[in-house]
Amino acid sequence: MSDESRAEAVVAAAAVMERAVPMVVRWFTRSDVRRAMLADAEPALSATDAWLLGRITDTGPVRLSALADWQEVDRSTMTTQVRRLESMGLVARATDPLDGRAVLVKATRAGAARHRRTKQTARAVYEEFLSDWSEDDLRQAAHVAARLVTALEHRSTTGGHGSR
């Protein structure tokens, strides 16, 4: 692919993303979709609660500072978010045995169970949404979604906004 055709492809893909991303965000933030994705169970979780609980559950005991870095927020903001999950009995905090000044956060049994339910209900929402797509479209969507996740995770860890 020539530099010129690659540049044209980047412009075309950016134009599609510019239209698609706001539509996807709007769909995910609809109250009916949000309720379905968050398992509509007690205790009620916000999207941020679910996202954070998922990270804590998936990574195992994790430092509060690492969570703040991952979510790109101040440590005081992360402390508030973790306190909310802690008050619901979904996470617990403990002193890091390797550094007594640091705090580790881990999911409780109830938190891990809630995360599993949320993932199951979210997956059911996706399955319903994608049920009439062709196998080829499904494979392409899965590939592109995985690539987007990888690229976005890389950008957040390197602080970059755009690269090749």
Question: Which tokens is 51 given?
Answer: 């996202």
107 conformational bin, left if phi > 0, alpha if psi -120 to 50, beta if neither: beta
Query: pLDDT, tens digit, for every residue of 109-158?
Result: 999 999 999 999 989 999 999 999 999 999 999 999 999 988 887 776 66
Cα(92)–Cα(105) distance, integer angstroms: 6
Peptide bond into 22 cis (omega under 30): no
120, 54 in Cβ contact below 8 A? no
Residue 163 has a pLDDT of 44
Contact between 106 and 114 under an 8 Å Cβ cutoff? The reply is no
- Domain 3-158, what architecture? Orthogonal Bundle (1.10)
Beta-bridge mates of residue 29: none
Residue with tokens 């640091």: 102
Band the pLDDT of 48: cuts 50, 70, 90: confident
Name the residue ranges covered by the structural domains of the chain: 3-158
